Structure 1
Amino acid sequence: MYTLQIEHAVNDFAAWKQSFDSDPADRAGSGVVSYRVFRPVDDSQRVLIELDFAEREQAESMLNTLRTKVWSGPGRPASLDGAPATRIVESVEARTL
């Protein structure tokens, strides 16, 4: 399992969430098998997203799509502040206690 982690500042969470829910990057069609959205309890102007993929190539392709089609150009959501921080991580162990 590979996870694309994204963290960025937002100036309006409700507007950002509406944009996220419109799914401009076609999460399901891009191989996302699950996702999680977080907000730090001490910073309501930040959002963290984790998108899970079966294959590393799918995560890399999604990151490229986000960079070139969602986070840049005229379609960039006005609710974003600055450039998102991203990384792709591989799950090596998970356990429920």
Structure 2
Amino acid sequence: MITLQIEHEVRDFATWKEAFDSDPLNRSASGVRSFRISRPLDQEDYVMLEMDFDTQEAAVDFLARLQNDTWKTGVTAPTLVGEPSTRIVETIAVQSVVPT
């Protein structure tokens, strides 16, 4: 699995979440299989987003569209503070741990 990780500060989490939920790039049609939104316990206006893809190409294409369309002029642009930090990673192993 390939994951696009994005981290950035936002002006207001609720406003950012509303813009994210509007799904301007049509995540499912763009190859996003699942996503997770997290934030530090002590920093409510900081977002950590992970979106999973089947291929590296789909993740790279989606990131390019985010950078060109959404972060510069799209619905989430006014909610961002500074430039988002991004990286594309590959999952090597996943294992559940059962308490003994």
State the TM-score, normalizing by the size of structure 1: 0.95
Q: Which has the larger radius of gyration?
A: 2
Task: State, as a whole percentage, how many aligned pairs show the same letter.
Answer: 45
Give the secondary-structure state (helix, strand or coil) at the position aligned to 1:43.
coil
Q: Distance in 2 between matches of 1:39 and 1:46?
A: 6
Q: What RMSD, in angstroms, separates the aligned Cα atoms of the two structures?
A: 1.1
Alignment of 1:1-97 (within 5 A): 1-73=1-73, 75-97=75-97
Unmatched tracts of structure 2, length 5 or more: none
Structure 1 stretches of 4+ with a deviation exceeding 3 A read none
Aligned residues: 97
Does the 8 A contact of 1:16 with 1:77 survive in 2?
no
Equivalent residue letter for 1:84: P
Compare 74-83 and 12-21 and name the one that shifted more.
Answer: 74-83
Compare 69-78 and 30-39 and name the one that shifted more.
Answer: 69-78
